[in-house]
Amino acid sequence: MVEIRLRNSMTRKVEPLVPLDPENVRMYVCGPTVYDRAHMGNGRAAVVFDVLYRLLRHVYGPDHVTYVRNITDVDDKINAEAQRRKAAGAEGTLEELIAARTDETIRWYHEDMAALGTLAPDHEPRATDYIAQMIAMIEGLVAKGHAYAAEGHVLFRVGSYSEYGALSGRTVDDMIAGARVEVAPYKEDPMDFVLWKPSDDDLPGWDSPWGRGRPGWHIECSVMADELLGAEFDIHGGGIDLQFPHHENEIAQSRCMGHGFAKMWVHNEMLQVEGKKMSKSLGNFFTVRDLLDQGVPGEVIRFVFLGTHYGKPMDWTERKREEAEATLRKWYRQASEALDNVEPYLGVVKALAGDLNTPQAVAEMHQLSQADDSPSLRASLKLLGLMENGVPGWAVGPDLSSYAALLSEARENAMASKDFSEVDRIKTALAAAGVEVRMSKTGVELLAAAGFDPDKLEAV
């Protein structure tokens, strides 16, 4: 059996994965807070852990891996979004607006992550289905002296856990200076963090020994991991932005309950855009759906992600997108006729087993392509979650992506200006060149039809 090695953030070393139970390798990954469309950074995280999930399934067998990715459906950002909608005149109670928003966002998340070729996890627990278990764990922490109630809140007593900070390697002074700790009069210590907080009458809330309220964010992962994977499990994943305080707090809660919790911690680095942090204020913030709507195939997005090791910050650039599309086009054509009868190439498996070295795996596949070993190429593509549904339309026909982008842009402008003449002009010119235009809410698809004439594309 291939030995999988992963960088464990806890020890800061690349270590062999030694499953607690090879019959059931268990992984927990922090999932989305469902108040808005997933952005490209969320997409990167989902793809990184999907590759790990696929590798685990390949090595241990698909029935011997359990992957849990939670859904955070109770959160101040969700409440704020629902309040904003209500203030803007949306119909329904706040509760109904919250339910509608979270359900819609979960649906979007599933659609968008499926477009990126990610498999559904084995369990996707929603935090609100585990409130009773959260209350029970908080009661347990209070009983053991690791938590205390104050003014409707329950706080974790950080001073009661001597190993606090081990994951992020920070001292308590660093953490306070990092200013992510909130000072509040009811706290014994500014480092103490919220396990439970009171809810106003108009916010979602549940009855508890401390009054009507809602859980803090960290406790949900400690509880859902325990419920679905047991007190100790193999891998805990998430973005590096969650290492402190979220993961540090998960560890403190679970360990103080006597749980072994995660044996290995794997963190993906952040996604950037053209060398800059992706943020709403810089205007370089985009969602997975934005790109899909522009006609970028999900598999191309996935392939761009694979080009950078998960432990390095990664830059999304237009150039990488173009290169990825050209490479996949070539490989898909090469692999399309190959039979599905071989194992993925060992060089690719070994690259992944070596701390998920996806750029190395891609380099191995370039060699397979050069050697024209199309069966191995095909099997390796599949291992990486590509070409699962055969060869997609965009990869077989001529490259019409720039025309699709042009039409998408014209349509967006037209929606704003209500002037559709440019959209109509492009559609007519494409039709004249023998291109079938399929426009839906989710994007623009162009297909070369029977009378396709590339020379006539110039008119577009």
Binding site for ligand AMP (CB under 6 A): 30, 32-33, 41-42, 44-45, 238-239, 241-242, 268, 270-271, 278
Minimum distance of Zn ion from residue 243's CB (angstroms) = 11
Minimum distance of Zn ion from residue 437's CB (angstroms) = 44
Minimum distance of ligand AMP from residue 241's CB (angstroms) = 5
- Residue 41 interaction partner, one of Zn ion, ligand AMP, none, beta carbon < 5-8 Å per kind: ligand AMP
- Residue 270 interaction partner, one of Zn ion, ligand AMP, none, beta carbon < 5-8 Å per kind: ligand AMP
- Which among 169-177, 214-222, 302-310, 383-391 is the span making contact with Zn ion, rule CB under 5 A? 214-222
Minimum distance of Zn ion from residue 66's CB (angstroms) = 17
Residue 30 interacting with Zn ion (CB under 5 A): yes
Each as own residue / partner, the long-range contacts of residues 326-329 (CB below 8 Å, 24 or more positions apart, any chain) are: 327/303, 327/366, 328/299, 328/300, 328/303, 328/386, 328/395, 329/394, 329/395, 329/399
Which residue, 81 or 220, is less far from Zn ion as judged by CB?
220
Minimum distance of Zn ion from residue 62's CB (angstroms) = 25
Place of tokens 């950002």: 77
Minimum distance of Zn ion from residue 164's CB (angstroms) = 17
Place of tokens 């806890």: 10
- Which among 30-38, 367-375, 378-386, 421-429 is the span making contact with Zn ion, rule CB under 5 A? 30-38
Residue type, 59: V
Residue 221 interacting with Zn ion (CB under 5 A): yes
Which residue, 246 or 456, is less far from Zn ion as judged by CB?
246
Which residue, 106 or 431, is less far from ligand AMP as judged by CB?
106
Q: In this structure, what token pair is assigned to residue 370?
A: 């050069």
Minimum distance of Zn ion from residue 64's CB (angstroms) = 24
Closest CA to 265 of 225, 208, 217: 225
Which residue, 242 or 446, is less far from ligand AMP as judged by CB?
242
CB distance 30 to 221 below 8 Å:
yes
- Which among 25-33, 134-142, 281-289, 393-401 is the span making contact with Zn ion, rule CB under 5 A? 25-33
How many residues are recorded in the chain?
Answer: 460
- Residue 338 interaction partner, one of Zn ion, ligand AMP, none, beta carbon < 5-8 Å per kind: none
- Residue 33 interaction partner, one of Zn ion, ligand AMP, none, beta carbon < 5-8 Å per kind: ligand AMP
Residues 6+ apart with CB under 8 A from 348: 361, 364, 365, 380, 383, 384
Q: Which residues bind Zn ion (CB under 5 A)?
A: 30, 221
